A and B are shown apart, each in its own frame.
Chain A
């Protein structure tokens, strides 16, 4: 259902852009807009500025502060888990419209510096735990934390659908693309009787070494300045 709504919005926007392309010759020079985005990389805001007839620059920030509880379980261990993802970036993108007749299609490239790009998983024992005839409290058992960090510079490539600058005062467009993140650093920490899990940091590092593509699918709301 969500994908149908997305495609419907996309068709409306592209359709409007196709109709509007006969109205005026394409030129972005000195055009300005402010863009608010929502999507797979959270929320963001950008300033768009046209520097050439078909090329505009976008500079902005994005943030994903995500937290979820109990979506990860270890069989046989009464535990609660907290999953978190924190991605904050500053980015600069070049937005090029290659075809006069397809001005709803944009090629987007650039880079972002991820001030924070980390994912974490904390596993805590639930309430009171028994060991033989002993009842242990959570402090006596400890917890396990899996941590992955992609902090650093990441190039971006993608396409945009629908124009970057509104022909009137407001428009909606879409971006599809991906960042290529730096090689992640991963480790495992443990406390209490779970402290031995730190020895598996190398395995986690190996498992996530190819987790470098951060797909972007976002809807943007642009206000002409």
Chain B
């Protein structure tokens, strides 16, 4: 009797185990990075050729609102990476047209003139782009500004997901400024647009070409490449600096 019952019991148990998955199986915790609601992209270029800022370029935030300004990852430590950094207001600060929040951005690099820009957060727009070309000391030539990207007919949709290498249960929807360049051409990255919770639609990409995409978050540069052969892509890149929850 026992010999007949045991396999039967085993089969029933196996069937029960197979029919019921754990309710949270394959469900990750998805976290958005749009904690800073009012942000400004500081994009520093070398005015000599329009390329990236010198590696030793430094940024300093001054002014009355400087203490309310943070890097996109929430850190007070604000540095340029490839000439790029995103700054923003602390989430409890809400600017308005009548009561804007102002701060100054100072860019300095050895052999270059110091540049100062006033950043004004008015509440009218949540994102703003501040290009800052810097020129060498003594140069009188106007800074070289890279031409805007070519606009194509097709709209390409991209959906970026940030992966946490050390946290398989966590996934990031990055809200960050996105740059791009054609793969293996060696040119400078150009501004593509703002990733809103990981999503962007653009006319700057041409079908058949491969592009490098780049974001800067928490002082780290993250890149991913994709050949454009269809109208939409889900792209994933490791973003460990965004996983420190």
Taking Cβ atoms with an 8 Å cutoff, the residues of A that contact B are: 74-77, 129-134, 136, 140, 144, 146, 148, 188, 190, 192-197, 199-200, 203-204, 206-208, 210-211
For chain B, give the interface size range: 20 to 34
Distance in Å: Cβ of A205 to nearest Cβ of chain B: 10
The closest CB in chain A to the CB of B33 belongs to: A193
State which residues 21-39 of B face A: CB under 8 Å.
21-35
B27 touches A74 (CB 8 A): no
Contact of B118 with A by CB under 8 A: no
CA distance A215 to B76 in the complex (A): 55
A207 touches B91 (CB 8 A): no
Between B29, B32, B35, B71, the greatest number of chain A beta carbons within 10 A of the residue's beta carbon is seen for B29
B23 touches A204 (CB 8 A): yes
The 6 closest A-B pairs by CB, nearest first: A132-B74, A196-B30, A131-B74, A132-B75, A134-B74, A193-B32
CA distance A96 to B169 in the complex (A): 51
Distance in Å: Cβ of A23 to nearest Cβ of chain B: 34
A74 touches B90 (CB 8 A): no
A144 touches B74 (CB 8 A): no
Please name 11 pairs of A and B residues whose Cβ atoms are closer than 8 Å in the assembled complex, sorted by A: A74-B29, A77-B245, A129-B245, A133-B75, A136-B35, A136-B91, A144-B29, A193-B32, A194-B30, A200-B28, A210-B20
The closest CB in chain A to the CB of B172 belongs to: A196
What's the dominant secondary structure at chain A's contact region? mixed
Q: A77-B245, A207-B24 are in contact. Are A193 and B35 (CB under 8 A)?
A: yes
Contact of B177 with A by CB under 8 A: no
Task: Tell which of B21, B27, B76, B197 touches A196, judged by Cβ atoms closer than 8 Å.
Answer: B197
Task: Tell which of A194, A199, A203, A210 touches B31, judged by Cβ atoms closer than 8 Å.
Answer: A194
Across-interface contacts of B29 in A (CB, < 8 A): 74, 77, 144, 194, 197
The closest CB in chain B to the CB of A78 belongs to: B245
Contact of B163 with A by CB under 8 A: no
Task: Tell which of B19, B20, B169 touches A74, judged by Cβ atoms closer than 8 Å.
Answer: B169
Contact of B170 with A by CB under 8 A: yes
Across-interface contacts of B27 in A (CB, < 8 A): 188, 200, 203-204, 207
CA distance A210 to B71 in the complex (A): 46
A75 touches B33 (CB 8 A): no
Contact of B173 with A by CB under 8 A: yes
Q: A132-B73, A132-B74, A200-B28 are in contact. Are A75 and B23 (CB under 8 A)?
A: no
State which residues 1-32 of B face A: CB under 8 Å.
19-32
Task: Tell which of B26, B35, B169 touches A134, judged by Cβ atoms closer than 8 Å.
Answer: B35
A200 touches B30 (CB 8 A): yes
Distance in Å: Cβ of B75 to nearest Cβ of chain A: 4
The closest CB in chain A to the CB of B77 belongs to: A133
Distance in Å: Cβ of A7 to nearest Cβ of chain B: 19
Q: A136-B91, A193-B32, A194-B30 are in contact. Are A131 and B245 (CB under 8 A)?
A: yes
Q: A196-B173, A207-B21 are in contact. Are A140 and B76 (CB under 8 A)?
A: no
B75 touches A208 (CB 8 A): no
Distance in Å: Cβ of A213 to nearest Cβ of chain B: 8
CA distance A135 to B230 in the complex (A): 42
B34 touches A207 (CB 8 A): no
Task: Tell which of B20, B34, B76 touches A193, judged by Cβ atoms closer than 8 Å.
Answer: B34
Task: Tell which of A75, A136, A196, A207 touches B32, judged by Cβ atoms closer than 8 Å.
Answer: A196
Distance in Å: Cβ of A176 to nearest Cβ of chain B: 15
Apart from the given pairs A132-B71, A193-B32, A204-B23, 20 other A-B contacts in the complex at a CB distance below 8 Å: A74-B169, A75-B169, A76-B167, A76-B245, A77-B29, A131-B35, A132-B70, A132-B74, A132-B218, A133-B70, A134-B91, A144-B29, A188-B27, A192-B32, A193-B33, A193-B35, A194-B31, A197-B30, A207-B23, A207-B27
